[in-house]
Structure 1
Amino acid sequence: MIEVRFSVRPGQGGPSVFDLGDIVCEGESGPVRSADRGLMVYLSVALLLDDLGPLLFGKRPNLSFTGVDTSVRIDFERAGKGFVSVSSRGVPVGRARVEDLARTFLRAAEELAEQGLSSLPAGDASWSDYFTAVRRFRAAMETGVAGA
């Protein structure tokens, strides 16, 4: 089982799509965290969902994801039928069923949006990008096809 949390760092003034935040991805073998440097959390999550869809619901065998404005990297690799292994720079994090991993990332992205993204102006292009990425990812989960 893999657990994922996204958060916004406090004390940055008014909300902005460029807010720094953190990602924690934790499994039975250990965690990967962005705690040292952080990342542009809203932009990174939208990019991650867009990149993760083809791995989970398409034919892509692996993904090496690096967040926006950070050196934090999370690696995903198909691991047998219906499973994905997660690591960071060769250090194992854990393994999860495709469906469970998809639900975990979607839930974390929706929770992040509820915590702070909803206070941004709805007309902001990055706000739209974030919710479009969430919507596409949810549709891919429902149909089992990336790019839905």
Structure 2
Amino acid sequence: MITLTFSVRPPQGEAGDFDLGDVLCEGESGTAGSAGHVPDQGMMIYLSVPLLLDALRPLVAGERKAASFVGTDSSFRLDFRRGRKGVVAVSANGTAVGTCGPRRAGGGRTEARGGTGARSPLAASGRQRRRP
């Protein structure tokens, strides 16, 4: 299972669209994160999260076998590759982080975490919001 944790860096004053933040990707093979690197790999977090989701859409829909994500105004990169039976392998800088597979009836769940480490019930349930 892969867990993504998103965080906003304090203190930046009032919250704004271009606030800097970090992504932490954890899997059974390792961890990759944008925090603590020289040069800095922090990103404009509020712009980067939708770009990550947009990059993954063709992979999940079966339109592509590979997808990459680079954080906005950052050099932090995650690579996703879909293999047999829908298993997706995630790597960062050529190093494996882990894998995740399709949902199983009564089994595995997809999870997303916000900056507080809380799990998103929307992501965990698999429901999607509809745009007005």
Q: 1:138 aligns with which of 121, 125, 128?
A: 128
Give the structure 2 partner of residue 83 of structure 1. Answer: 87
Q: CA, structure 1 residues 84+90, in 2 after alignment: closer, same or farther (shift >3 Å)?
A: same
Q: Does residue 103 of structure 1 match 2:110? A: yes
Q: Does residue 55 of structure 1 match 2:62? A: no
- Structure having the higher helix fraction is 1
Q: Distance in 1 between matches of 2:6 and 2:55?
A: 17
- Preserved contact between residue 56 and residue 98 of structure 1 (Cα < 8 Å): no
**Identity of matched residues, %:** 48
Q: What TM-score, normalized by structure 2, do the two folds share?
A: 0.76
Would you say how many aligned residue pairs link Structure 1 and Structure 2?
113
SS in 1 for 2:85: coil
- Preserved contact between residue 29 and residue 92 of structure 1 (Cα < 8 Å): yes
Q: CA, structure 1 residues 17+102, in 2 after alignment: closer, same or farther (shift >3 Å)?
A: farther
Q: Can you give the 5+ residue segments of structure 1 that lack an aligned partner in the other structure?
A: 116-136, 140-148
Q: Distance in 2 between matches of 1:17 and 1:57?
A: 29
Q: Distance in 1 between matches of 2:53 and 2:94?
A: 22
What's the offset of the Cα at 1:58?
2.8
SS in 2 for 1:15: coil
What's the offset of the Cα at 1:56?
1.1
SS in 1 for 2:51: helix
Q: CA, structure 1 residues 91+2, in 2 after alignment: closer, same or farther (shift >3 Å)?
A: same
Partner deviation per Cα, 1:95-147 (whole Å, 9 max, x = no partner)? 1114499933xx33xx35xx9xxxxxxxxxxxxxxxxxxxxx936xxxxxxxx
CA RMSD of aligned residues (A): 2.5
Higher relative contact order, structure no. (Cα contacts within 8 Å, ≥ 6 residues apart): 1
Q: Can you give the 5+ residue segments of structure 2 that lack an aligned partner in the other structure?
A: 119-126
SS in 2 for 1:12: coil
